[in-house]
Structure 1
Amino acid sequence: MALVTIVAVGSTLLVATANSQAVAPEPERWTGSWSAALTAAGSGKSKDGFADQTIRMFVHTSVGGTAARIRLSNRFGTQPLTIGHATLALPWPEAGPGDIKPGSAVDATFSGQRSITIPAGGSAVSDPVHMEVPASQDVAVSLYVPVASGPATWHVYARETSFIGQGDHANDASGAKLPETRNNWYYVTGLDVLNRSGQGSIVVLGDSITDGFKSTVNADHRWTDYLGWRLNQEAPGGKAPGILNAGLAGNRLTLNGIDAGFNELGMNGSARFHFDVLGQTGVRTVILALGINDVWLSQDNADNIIARLQAMARLAHQSDLKIVVCTLSPWNAFESAPGVVAYTPTLDSVRLTVNSYIRTTTDFDGVIDFDAVLRNPADPSKLRPEWDSGDHIHPNDKGNEAMAAAIPLDLLLLDEDEDLR
């Protein structure tokens, strides 16, 4: 019979047998569970900002935890932003639009204070909010903005409905006094959780395909949402990393959104790296899913795109991060919007050249071949028809699910002898 020894260390029990060493539970660490890449204001509500208004937004977690904290940004603001009251709560959509479960709202404080003023260009992280945060579920973040904010720092294509109303309703269970709706997020850039996964977080730096453009609103059917759910189901011992979506519609490696007249398309990939990747909590891997907009929006050449990809790999490795790159999926849009060139075989040859580099290079630590997953076997220049949202570039919900299902999880999980940095 093996000898079993039980040793009490503080409140932790260490269990060892004659054939093994005592192993303590993984310590609790802060891990990023959700994120959004934010940009300067565009038009409408983002340009006007908020005054004496509550914004209730819903964010979809990847991993859960025993406590939470929110990260807020006024990075692109032109004046100080005052948050007079912030709460986290669990949603209750079956009760009514914008509703939260009665009694679930918990105040988020900042250095013990209920309100905080964030300077223009600044950011803030709340104190720990003690609540059980579910994995792969929505959490409601309500922010009361008491005085005029000026133009808002925001995310334009949230694929989630946000609710806005006059006055402080951050604690209200009902969304009845939040009658104005938008499909945007404002100011909130991250939700961190305290857990024992020991796996840290993975940031996906991408474009509209990662952002979930054309996926069903309020369904959480982005490929990153499916990936988070899959990891929670399949990661050994339930120890899943957080999946942080840093996708921006129209984003490019080589140019900024303002170059095309749209702030909300964000800055170029390398400019975003320092904020949207290195600024995340517990990050240890980045998935790079950029490049297709450089082909069909910018009409850049393959050499320039490849050079930018190589630069991104160097940025990650200099920061001691693992980086995995995605091939560029098919696009075959013949209907051209103003300023956008429709598909041509010549442009597609650029995409194929970039993909050939991605599949053969050793610059990255791994490859996710979304092109192979999504292309139509009968016509590889097009998406599979059953996964085409209708615009011939963005996958529908089923296509997003197929993308997540095809990712080799060994690219994303830490080895047993690999320490979380």
Structure 2
Amino acid sequence: MINRRRAAAALAALGLLATTLVGAAGPASGGLPPRWVGTWGTALTAPSLANTGSSLNGFTDQSIRQLVRVSLGGQKVRLRFTNAYGTQPLTIGHATVGLPAAPGSPTLQPGSLREVTFNGSASTVVYKGAEVLSDPVDLPVAASQDLAVTLYLPTATGATSWHWTARQTSYVYAGDRAGDVDGSGQTAAYNHFYYLAGIEVLTPTGLGTVVVLGDSISDGSGSTLGANTRWPDYLASRITGTWPALADPGVLNLSLAGNQVTRDGSTLNSPALGDSALARLDDDVFSQPGVRTVIVELGINDVHLSGYPADRIIAGLRQLAIQAKDRGLRVVVATLGPFEGYSSWTADKEAVRQAVNAWLRGDNEFDGLLDFDQVLRDPAAPSKVLPAYDSGDHIHPNDTGAQALAAAVPLWLL
């Protein structure tokens, strides 16, 4: 439950903030000085040993066109690429960004394609374990705008840095197709992101970012492929549709399907599940541009995949909150949703889930609570997902369920 007095105070403070900002802005600028704010991001991991075709073997003399949807609009964009999990330097021979002609289309709107440069050069080398940030690109984008980012990789990349459950199609071509508006002729299409770690916008209105640190519930498992119907997508649309004009935060979804609070995916022989959330804090949360708030939606995989006891999961969640607050961030946590009917469910695991949720609903180190369990559960069978929200596997919400989760987030908490 949300304390109404706290809500009213927060809304009043937000109104005062907006008034103060407007009053402080100069008449020539009409607002705050522009600043770089994160508008899209994804968590990348080591390649999967089972995915030799693209993630492990990588690419040679090929282009990848990746479609993403930004949360916050801005005057210019810049792109962040990573070789965090590569085994050798990564050469980007040519990169572009443009606007898709239609949602999900690899063909671009005429006149929208822009060249991406790095320190003025059309190519760059991203060294092993490193990142590179592009030069600013003069491409105005609107809130909830789709972008197409194309990379040409001229030499063998070796092992990639990737996101294995993108819920978005990336298109692969032979040779350098970064400069092509026409997106036909692809040689492969994958439900993965490669190398692209983040997008920033230059904006006079964005006051920071909200990072979602989650698992498959937030990563979009169960949502419609290519439709941008993960609950953080719906949250981003709510924010830009209702937030005061001088306080729009970007929403960065740094979630990983299968991710756990206290266990690395590599210990399950599945590095694509990512390092534990505790190990991801520095790279996936604290390093994000303008991060102000973290939403933690984690713990169910510690229960159903690893069978860990409640005290271990609670200790891990406490550490997430303590470390984030030590960095000056607001930390909001979600309860663990129901999963009876899923293949790994047992009565003992249900008891652990209930114990973790009881702690989350009580006094703890978090600044706010999102009771996703209450949103998703069937009132007639509280250990099960409401049928109207069930994607069919009895643990992941469908698009309707994801929309309900986003609607349950009080914007003042952010």
Q: TM-score, normalised by structure 2?
A: 0.91
> Which residue identity lines up with residue 384 of structure 1 in the other structure?
L
Alpha-carbon separation, structure 2, partners of 1:196 and 1:203 = 20
Superposed displacement of residue 198, structure 1: 3.9
> Which residue identity lines up with residue 34 of structure 1 in the other structure?
W
Alpha-carbon separation, structure 2, partners of 1:178 and 1:64 = 29
Superposed displacement of residue 279, structure 1: 1.6
Superposed displacement of residue 188, structure 1: 0.1
Which residue, 81, 90, 93 being the options, matches 2:90?
81
Structure 1 gaps of 5+ residues are 1-19, 337-341, 413-421
Structure 2 match to 1:67 = 76
Number of positions where the alignment pairs a residue of Structure 1 with one of Structure 2: 386
Superposed displacement of residue 93, structure 1: 3.1
Percent of aligned pairs sharing the same letter? 48
Structure 2 match to 1:31 = 37
Superposed displacement of residue 101, structure 1: 1.0
Which residue, 210, 225, 243 being the options, matches 2:251?
243
The answer to whether the 8 A contact 1:169-1:177 is kept is no
> Which residue identity lines up with residue 375 of structure 1 in the other structure?
R
Which residue, 300, 305, 313 being the options, matches 1:305?
313
Structure 2 match to 1:108 = 116
Within-5 A mapping of 1:54-203: 54-93=63-102, 97-203=105-211
Superposed displacement of residue 102, structure 1: 1.8
Structure 1 match to 2:400 = 398
Within-5 A mapping of 1:180-329: 180-237=188-245, 239-329=247-337
Alpha-carbon separation, structure 2, partners of 1:384 and 1:226 = 19
> Which residue identity lines up with residue 160 of structure 2 in the other structure?
A
Structure 2 residue 52 is the aligned partner of structure 1 residue 52: no
Q: Secondary structure at the match of 1:247?
A: coil
The answer to whether the 8 A contact 2:310-2:355 is kept is yes
The answer to whether the 8 A contact 1:215-1:222 is kept is yes
Alpha-carbon separation, structure 1, partners of 2:325 and 2:226 = 36
Alpha-carbon separation, structure 2, partners of 1:198 and 1:181 = 34
The answer to whether the 8 A contact 2:70-2:143 is kept is yes
The answer to whether the 8 A contact 1:232-1:239 is kept is no
Alpha-carbon separation, structure 1, partners of 2:121 and 2:336 = 47
Alpha-carbon separation, structure 2, partners of 1:160 and 1:371 = 27
Structure 2 match to 1:407 = 409
Structure 1 match to 2:19 = none
Superposed displacement of residue 238, structure 1: 6.3
> Which residue identity lines up with residue 123 of structure 1 in the other structure?
E
The answer to whether the 8 A contact 1:198-1:239 is kept is yes
The answer to whether the 8 A contact 2:261-2:302 is kept is yes
Structure 1 match to 2:379 = 377
Alpha-carbon separation, structure 2, partners of 1:27 and 1:322 = 24
The answer to whether the 8 A contact 2:95-2:151 is kept is yes
- 1:275-326 residue CA offsets vs partner (Å, 9 max, x unmatched): 0001211111111111000010010000000000011011101111111111
Q: CA RMSD in A?
A: 1.4
More helix by share: 2
Superposed displacement of residue 214, structure 1: 1.4
- 1:61-100 residue CA offsets vs partner (Å, 9 max, x unmatched): 1001000000000000000000011111000137x94111
Q: Secondary structure at the match of 2:254?
A: strand
CA gap 1:23/1:68 in 2 versus in 1, 3 angstroms = closer
Q: TM-score, normalised by structure 1?
A: 0.90
Alpha-carbon separation, structure 2, partners of 1:392 and 1:137 = 32
Alpha-carbon separation, structure 2, partners of 1:117 and 1:178 = 25
Structure 2 residue 338 is the aligned partner of structure 1 residue 330: yes
Further displaced range: 129-138 or 214-223: 129-138
Alpha-carbon separation, structure 2, partners of 1:106 and 1:392 = 43
Further displaced range: 238-247 or 382-391: 238-247
Alpha-carbon separation, structure 1, partners of 2:325 and 2:389 = 34
CA gap 1:21/1:49 in 2 versus in 1, 3 angstroms = closer
Structure 1 match to 2:8 = none
Alpha-carbon separation, structure 2, partners of 1:126 and 1:386 = 44
> Which residue identity lines up with residue 297 of structure 2 in the other structure?
A
> Which residue identity lines up with residue 62 of structure 1 in the other structure?
S
Alpha-carbon separation, structure 2, partners of 1:230 and 1:200 = 16
- 1:365-397 residue CA offsets vs partner (Å, 9 max, x unmatched): 111110111111111101110000000000000
Superposed displacement of residue 361, structure 1: 2.1
- 1:120-162 residue CA offsets vs partner (Å, 9 max, x unmatched): 1111000100111121121000000010000110000100111
CA gap 1:401/1:164 in 2 versus in 1, 3 angstroms = same
Alpha-carbon separation, structure 2, partners of 1:22 and 1:318 = 30
Q: Secondary structure at the match of 2:171?
A: strand
> Which residue identity lines up with residue 238 of structure 2 in the other structure?
R
> Which residue identity lines up with residue 38 of structure 1 in the other structure?
L
Alpha-carbon separation, structure 2, partners of 1:370 and 1:160 = 25
The answer to whether the 8 A contact 1:98-1:178 is kept is no
CA gap 1:79/1:405 in 2 versus in 1, 3 angstroms = same
Alpha-carbon separation, structure 1, partners of 2:395 and 2:25 = 49
Alpha-carbon separation, structure 2, partners of 1:22 and 1:80 = 46
Alpha-carbon separation, structure 1, partners of 2:68 and 2:185 = 20
- 1:103-134 residue CA offsets vs partner (Å, 9 max, x unmatched): 21101111111100011111100010011112
- 1:246-274 residue CA offsets vs partner (Å, 9 max, x unmatched): 11010001110011111100000011111
CA gap 1:254/1:175 in 2 versus in 1, 3 angstroms = same
Alpha-carbon separation, structure 1, partners of 2:32 and 2:182 = 39
Further displaced range: 232-241 or 134-143: 232-241
Structure 2 gaps of 5+ residues are 1-21
Structure 1 match to 2:9 = none
The answer to whether the 8 A contact 2:207-2:246 is kept is no
Q: Secondary structure at the match of 1:356?
A: helix
Superposed displacement of residue 22, structure 1: 5.4
